Structure 1
Amino acid sequence: MRITENMRYGSLIAGLGRAQGNYSSLMEQMASQKKINRPSDDPVGTTRVLDFRGVRDTIAQYGRNIENADAWLQLSETKLENISDLIGKAREAGINDQSSQTRQVLAQNVGSLLEEILALANSKFGERYLFAGSRTDRAPFERIILPVAHSANGFDGSVFSGGTYTGAAEKTYTVRIASGGALGAATCEVSDDGGATWSAAATVPASGIVSLGDGLTVRFGDDGTTNLTAGDLFYVNAYAGGRTTDARVEAPQAASNNAFAGTVALDASSGPYGGDRNRTYAVQFVNGGGAVGEADYRVSTDGGRTWGAVQTASWGSTITVDDTPGRELVLSFAASGPSDGFAENDLFTVNAYAPGVYSGNGEDLSVATGRGSRMVYNVTGEEAFTDRGRGGVDLFAVLESLKTALEQGDREGVIAQVDRLTAAQNTIRQYVAESGARRSSLDITRANYQVLDDKVAGLMSATEDVDLERLIVEFKMKETALQASYAMSVQIGKMSILNYL
């Protein structure tokens, strides 16, 4: 077969093209230091690299979760240690109670310590409150208006403050039982000037609620074994802006993006909240919503973490969110007009608070630290600082009681509160230790993930990264071959018929 000039030049150009392509590919690998610069370079290797990257992204997310949880725990641990130290100082004030001259000074010191502990219990991590449970947008504690019983009292039932104090100045109210007996039969007197003057004796109502003045009340419970006894004394230190301790239910709230324009309120059939935990109830309308009384809905008793079954039956204008005896709660809905109704996911919430001063809840905060593995990283104020926790001591009630006992010269009351502070301090120390243990666990998990990430990074590098030394040698070889090809092509290009004459 005759080889024409066109064939010869075509073969030459094709060879040069291949040489240049190989040379360019090696240059690209040297520039990126990657063997795989596009999927077509190695489809199988590309798939492996993408899998490795997914694993490393997951590890990185777990790492961020661990870092955030560790920072939260570290701050919680520090605040709890500070609170424990301050409790120790309050105990010293009670132990040092020796004379009437020092009691007022010690009472002031305890009041200052109470304010410091209150500030620490309301500490934030960024914009979230550390000890509020899952209600991290609201301060869990406020200064309380607490009824304090004298240690010599015969009455052993519960006593709560209620109402809203409207006075501008700090004031101490005293309730003295004039004649003993059951609620509805006993009589009492009230003083708002430290016992200098007293009101006329009046019957304690069967409800147990006694008005003190300035919008403030006390409520005696019938849950004890001994009735009110003549001579029993109860002290109530009132502060402007202070929180009372009786159970309460806040007005229902509608989500800002709800379509429903009507009203929602607590129905008159709702009883006083008798739960032993703070709860956030929620009602969510589903299946497209609908009119009042007809729309399908579901109810949550834990702020929306879990939901009950969808209710599809007609319900008139009221929805029962809790029918547990002692804490019945019913919401009433009224449309704004004939066309007003619920849309999909319209949401309504209502907060119910057990007796006490804690405004958070008992819900844990947890974070994913692995596939199917979560760690709780918060300490709730309910567990650490109230009598609903493992220690059974309401820290702020004890501090208020210690302050009042010092002011009133109630030595036995001081001793009792010192003992309770010891129990409270032991509880705080337990949570400090638990926070440290959780941090240690997170450190181990973090170290394990670092080892895993290094191994995956090594596998990914072996798949996509170049061996730079080998690549340089290969590049020089290709460069030499390309230069020779250029020189040969120049010589071949110069040949003509005259070269053979």
Structure 2
Amino acid sequence: MRVATSTLYNQSKENISRKNREVLDKNSLISSGKQIRKLSDNPVDASRVAALKTTMSDLSQLQRNVATGSLWLEGSEESMVRVKEMVDRAKELAISMANGMANPDDLQTGALEVEGLIKGVLDLANTRMDGQYIFSGTRSDVRPFQADNDDLPSSISYVGNASPFRVKIGPQSDMVVGFAGEEIFSSDTAVIDETNNRLDFVEKRAGALPGEETVLTAMVDGATYTRQGLAHAVEMAMERASAEKGEGTDYRVSWNEAEETFTIAEENGPDPAKLDRVGVLFRSGDNRHKSVGAFMGFPTDDIATEPSRQPLVSRRGVQWGIFNSLFELKSALETNDKEGLHQSISRLGADHNNILSSISEAGVRAGRLDSRNDLLKDLTISHDANRSKLEDTDVVRAISDLKLKQFGYESSLASTSRILNTSLLNYLK
């Protein structure tokens, strides 16, 4: 069959063009390093690569979250360790001043040192990381602890919230990395022991003559109490004392959360009150130096009420915790109150244990974040390896293929040159 020259030319041209495209394609694989450069190259693998990249982006964000959480925990732990050191120094000072050997100048010097410790703890309680307050809960833009007087504070209030700061560490999980300042610098519990477990009170029965009063001492069971629990324990102690040596009175001792006050009164009931008068002895009582009254927010003066069912109310804003302990210690030093110093030792010991627990909690959280960070790194490496298998060029194989394609292209050029090497002289021979 006779083949026209134009047909040979067209076929040769197409063959050379195809070989050239194959060479260019292999060369592009090597230069770009990607075997999927557009969706049409491999639609299935391209979609898998897109999904892997999305997952890796999410993992990268989680790693940044974990890094932020680690930074917060590191700052929190460092601040709390320094606060613990200040609490320990305050306790050491209280012990040294309570031995009866300190003179008035020593006591005043100690009070000035405690004032410095109060300011130091306040500064640490308002620690910031990257411009954010780490002890404000989720109100990290608000300074959490504010003093009534920056130069000479006598009270400190917390204005953060009770929701600790969290970071997302997994698709369906987050983790607390911040602290609500109240749980560290304030306390929901009080330790009652031999230094603060007594309450002197007076009963005057109904119809008794002036001066016919009974002075009693309530002995509160030693334990760690919440405010509600302390109210109940004091009530039980007063009723035991009254039953043994008094009028056998039923008392009502309660904690008002809204007003932050304790109340003491004779229990209301259908029967007439047994007492005309009930009072608490803080100044004149034999056990004023071991009184639980300070933990209930009562003033140091004796107080009483008539009729007895009118409650005795403690001061507003009963606070337990580091700042309160330091204020009480400063006051005891300024007034040479040896009993107050002994109570401060007990209080500061409880504060030490409370903040030590928070330091341990920060360490546990930091360990968990480290484990999470290791897991996220491993997942990122695994996903990147899978993406690379699908998307990246096998350079060694691609170079080998390129050489083969180049050889084929050069062979096509050579054979075409021979086939199409025609001229009029060939027909004249």
Q: TM-score, normalised by structure 2?
A: 0.66
Question: 1:445 offset after TM fit, Å?
Answer: 1.2
CA contact (8 A) 1:33 1:466 kept: yes
Aligned to 1:94: 94
Q: 1:234-262 CA deviation, whole Å, 9 max, x = no partner?
A: xxxxx4677776xxxxxxxxxxxxxxxxx
CA contact (8 A) 1:383 1:390 kept: no
Bigger fraction of residues in helix: 2
Question: 1:143 offset after TM fit, Å?
Answer: 2.7
Aligned to 1:125: 129
Aligned to 2:3: 3
Aligned counterparts of 2:190 and 2:417: Cα–Cα separation in 1:
92
Q: CA RMSD in A?
A: 1.9
Aligned counterparts of 2:85 and 2:151: Cα–Cα separation in 1:
27
Secondary structure of the corresponding residue to residue 132 of structure 1: coil
Aligned to 1:193: none
1:357 to 134, 139, 157: 157
Aligned counterparts of 2:364 and 2:187: Cα–Cα separation in 1:
24
CA contact (8 A) 2:154 2:327 kept: no
Aligned counterparts of 1:74 and 1:499: Cα–Cα separation in 2:
91
Aligned to 1:402: 329
Count of residue pairs the alignment pairs up: 297
Which amino acid letter does the alignment assign opposite residue 183 of structure 2? E
Question: 1:3 offset after TM fit, Å?
Answer: 2.2
Please say if 1:136 is aligned against 2:63.
Answer: no
Secondary structure of the corresponding residue to residue 168 of structure 2: strand
Which amino acid letter does the alignment assign opposite residue 120 of structure 2? E
CA contact (8 A) 2:65 2:169 kept: yes
Question: 1:414 offset after TM fit, Å?
Answer: 1.4
Question: 1:390 offset after TM fit, Å?
Answer: 9.0
Question: 1:481 offset after TM fit, Å?
Answer: 1.5
Aligned to 2:173: 373
Q: TM-score, normalised by structure 1?
A: 0.57
Q: 1:98-129 CA deviation, whole Å, 9 max, x = no partner?
A: 32231111111111111111111111011111
Aligned counterparts of 1:61 and 1:137: Cα–Cα separation in 2:
23
Q: 1:473-494 CA deviation, whole Å, 9 max, x = no partner?
A: 1111111111222233333343
Which amino acid letter does the alignment assign opposite residue 76 of structure 1? S
Question: 1:93 offset after TM fit, Å?
Answer: 1.0
Bigger fraction of residues in strand: 1
Aligned to 1:387: 187
Please say if 1:44 is aligned against 2:48.
Answer: no
Secondary structure of the corresponding residue to residue 169 of structure 2: strand
Aligned counterparts of 1:130 and 1:390: Cα–Cα separation in 2:
25
Question: 1:449 offset after TM fit, Å?
Answer: 1.6
CA contact (8 A) 1:133 1:379 kept: yes
Question: 1:497 offset after TM fit, Å?
Answer: 4.5
Which amino acid letter does the alignment assign opposite residue 117 of structure 1? V
Sequence identity percentage: 29
Question: 1:365 offset after TM fit, Å?
Answer: 1.3
Aligned counterparts of 2:393 and 2:139: Cα–Cα separation in 1:
52
CA contact (8 A) 1:90 1:110 kept: yes
* Structure 1 residues not aligned, in runs of 5+: 145-238, 246-355
Aligned counterparts of 2:120 and 2:414: Cα–Cα separation in 1:
87
Aligned counterparts of 1:130 and 1:31: Cα–Cα separation in 2:
50
2:391 to 461, 464, 467: 464
Aligned counterparts of 1:476 and 1:390: Cα–Cα separation in 2:
83
Decide whether aligned partners of structure 1 residues 476 and 388 sit closer, same or farther in structure 2, where only a CA change above 3 A counts.
same
Aligned to 1:254: none
Aligned counterparts of 2:35 and 2:29: Cα–Cα separation in 1:
6
Structure possessing the higher radius of gyration over alpha carbons: 2
Aligned to 2:309: none
2:117 to 110, 113, 118: 113
Which amino acid letter does the alignment assign opposite residue 361 of structure 1? N
